[in-house]
Structure 1
Amino acid sequence: MAALRAQLRTLPQLPGVYRMLAADGGVLYVGKAKALKSRVGSYFLKQVASPKTRALVERIHGIEITITASETEALLMEQTLIKALKPPYNILLRDDKSYPYVFLSEADTFPRLAFHRGGKRQKGRYFGPFPGSGAVRDSLNLLQKLFQVRQCEDSTFRNRERPCLQYQIKRCRAPCVGYVSADDYRRDVDNTRLFLEGRNEEVTDNLIARMSMASEALDFERAAVYRDQLAALRRVQEQQFVLRDVGSADVFGVAAQPGGVCVHVLQVRDGHVLGGKAWYPPLFGETAVTDILTEFLPSYYLQAAVGEAAGGRELPREIITPVELPEAALLAEAVRQQYGREVEIRSRVREARAAWLEMAQRNAESGLASTLANRGHIAQRFADLQRVLERDAPVTRMECFDISHTMGEATVASCVVFDGQGPKKSDYRRFNIEGITPGDDYAAMHQALTRRYSRLLKDEAVLPDILFIDGGKGQLAQAVDVLAELGVHQVQLIGIAKGEGRKPGLETLHFPDGGTLSLSADSPALHLIQHIRDEAHRFAITGHRERRAKARRTSTLEGIPGVGPTRRRALIQHFGGLQEVMRASERDLATVPGISATLAQAIHAALHSH
């Protein structure tokens, strides 16, 4: 249980799917979460009431997670895994009905649009799956208003002698009694199909225009109706990359830091994401992603355990990597000889495959972060730091300071704290810097250090064993002056100067006596120093951006660099409101005219920075 609780602390607050594992490695339960850390952690609370949940928790020996881009994707992946794995506690506790589809018949002269759940036996197109029946029914209702394609049963359609009420309220063009030609009706069907395929923005533009006109006419009630329709339309139009009826691939994501490497292999079969597995190959010095995969892939496919498949592992049609591999053709030929069939190795992918690649990369980064936060890794790094600094006493507490601003605007200093278990976020502090010359980093550092350690001395709080300053001799000098003024002599001071080209692994440590120290790139001590330095940098930038956005007193969107009034208006109109913009994924944001993929990524990061 202790190991499980340690793992819970490293889970991200991101949407995804979790798998509860038994002692033999079997899957007990599959669930989805909007925030993995909160949801999975809730199972281990003392006040859990359900006897079935308590019985499940008693059998849990491990947890695996797969991070997704949205809660909707997590819901769909959960459905796939439940059907594939049939976990016992899902069968007991969860409704395992299939997800709904929108069905468009093809055999009829006048095709029908309908709600569908179950086997796909009828001839026609099935669009979906969608996460809930309510959203599908709302969408069918909206499509009926927009395109007027019939939704009546075939038996009703064949026996009509006069138009029904749907024609009277302009939701059907009455093909049953010949009020519309087959060609005109076919155009309505084609528009419906194109929209459901995500290839038609005309309906969205029409709703945006109607909403704007209603607002200008001060008819806010009607504008609200259009806004709600637009939001519903966007939900239906969301690209669901977790489930697609095409493609079988192994998708590789790679995260590399000076302290380690994680390669996450995402398995996609027949368009269904079946989860993945993380691997942690040993890292010797600095290694590029290309080099890691060039070494890892042959081992993964050509040295696989006998018995997994005819040639080793189950071989998909495609291998998708985040970078182009110089020896891709050679590897493909070797795999073909071992497995007896062709495989394509690709790195430049789009649409669903790009989303799979993004998911694999996100999981690799999360896996590496969890591993580096492991208590064993932290202890080894602290011990190595004590050794290289030649300290008699162990290092139990460290602090690191950094400064962040934009051309002197909204300067913020950060203080992060590490103890024997890693980052101690409850002790993190930020300082809004005032009364200095804009852009004077030395004065900002002096003020932050003075405020921090004056308060610690006043409260008789614990002082750190080591104080790291992100910077070279000038920044370190400020720390020396402040601690001398305050009479603090027991804290060891170290400045962290970035190496040539700001390249990780080339940092130089500066000491108050003028001495310097450069550690090897594979040093656990250096990895710990890099970790606390990067954490201080992240914490400072986050605080600076929050302060800058608040100071500008503009909308949430306009506080984002690159998003002014025009793009803000385009986003609000496209999604029908700020709440819909907040729930949109990066891919959805990038569909808005004037919003590039890079800007969409920046907008998504800014809106979810907390």
Structure 2
Amino acid sequence: MPPFDFKEFLPTVPLQPGVYLMKSRADEVLYVGKARELRKRLSSYARIDQAQHGKTAMLLSQVRVIETIVTNTEKDALILESALIKQYRPKYNVILRDDKSYPLLKVTVQEQWPRLVMTRRRVKDGARYFGPFSSPSAMWETIRYLNSLFPLRRCKEKSLKPKSRPCLNHQMGRCLAPCADKVSGEEYLELVNNILLVLEGKNQQLVKELSRKMAQAAAELRFEEAAQLRDRINSLNKTLEKQQVVATHTRDQDVLGFARQEASVAVALLFIRKGVITGQQAFFLAEPVGTDPEVLNEVLSRFYGEEGRYLPQEILLPFAGTDDPLLAEWLSEQRGGSVTIACPQRGDRVRLLEMAEANARQVLVARKTRQTSWQALAGGLQKGLGLARLPERIECLDISNLGGKQAVGSLVCFVGGEMAKNRYRHYGIHTVEGPDDYAMMAEVLARRFAKGLAEGDMPDLLLVDGGKGQLGVAMQALADLGIPGTVELAGIAKEKAEEGEKLYRPGRKNPIILDRHSPVLLYLMRIRDEAHRYGITIHRRLRGKESLTSALEQIPRVGKARKELLLREIGSMHRLAQASEAELGAVAGIGPALAAQIWAHLHGGKK
């Protein structure tokens, strides 16, 4: 294909700020960028030799169309660029995919009786979010610690219903039972504020306040209350001793570490709140497009452009990016207060940058170790199964059904030895009646391979759960599409009578039996078990949805129209099962009496 003709294109591009979209022949958006002067920025691409092997050259070799959108200011271009990247998720832009989904702590301050809960999503619901926590175990330890000091309610209801008797948590001293009027609203909210102070890193301020209250309680001969406050103070002081204080100020800072190894880049962010490190997050970028300053600013745009992201007062960078003043202005508007972007050259802040850089370098070391380990495992897979090439991408299909009902095909994907959950898929069964696993598998594979053939998106190895029969179905699915042998296939059959797991391959009469401790076998079993887990999760959801639908249809006075009305207003079957009588009664056409009947029916008649 001829390269994109910049010579003919550039004279048509304005010298104004704006955004440009690079597209492929199939009209796929490959890259979105912004510029202070569009023509000047795009002309820099014309000087790149497309015969080179870099990521930018690879991008340009695929570009067939470039569209430009002119904006009034460069800041408008920055905002539009961020929105378009979220919309299209172009393959050559920096997309911050972390290896983990870090948990957050959420204090539901918008509720009458707030709770402390774990979540993995930050949304604009009025709650206070803290984190992310790089260690889930540390996060759960924090929850247990705070619950022991300040026992908030643990029930999941957003609004509490009055109860005559509190639950077991109250009897165990783990909840103050606001549902049974065992605590006043003022006292409860004081505990909530204490938790917020701890999570904000204001332990010392809280210790001073609790010490004052302890002295007051002792002076008024309330010795039991004073003893309780003393225990909380001692516990907080122990926590203060363990905290890694890295600054004497009280500002909130994010510190970015940047490390490059050949074409790869690692970025580590340290979150410092009130002078204390509260967490960190790291990202690996395989081959980002652009210079280091351009990559740095794109990382900042993507990270802080995420909805609900907490913005600190100061962001420390190891070197200047291309758009630091512009980003600082944009982020200040987002925060509703000043956000400073600085590149310190001396003092304590340089020490923080060195710490962040050490974390970024560790990401590269860990990545290299993981890649080396994967190459060894992939080589073992290729040799053990007799594959023509290294199986970089492996998919596994599992069929779940209960007597032929609620049947679903679940497909999981592993890339480079790791789960690629964005490639997981589940398939409803449309053409098979009754319990026929072979026919169900044939339907799913026909759909999977047909789409993969059309989009050029095939796995290196497809693993099916089963023996020769299931393997034969997969081979036939490829043959029916006229592409036999284009995808490596293998079947894995469960162990029977201590014979060990058996692996089946096309063209081989006898199964391959590997040592039960073989890394290759253990890896394939892990993939098979993940397909089982994913399939069972989807299957249970379908069963629960059907059983709840059946339960609704059994309620007198709830016909098809009212059922659809309830689902439309409440939102889903899951939410319907959790809804209170008041929420059900608020739906038009239901009313208090019918709401009480529906609620009792869905909860086994229990109040």
TM-score of the superposed pair, with normalisation by structure 1: 0.36
Greater RCO (Cα-Cα under 8 Å, separation 6 or more): 1
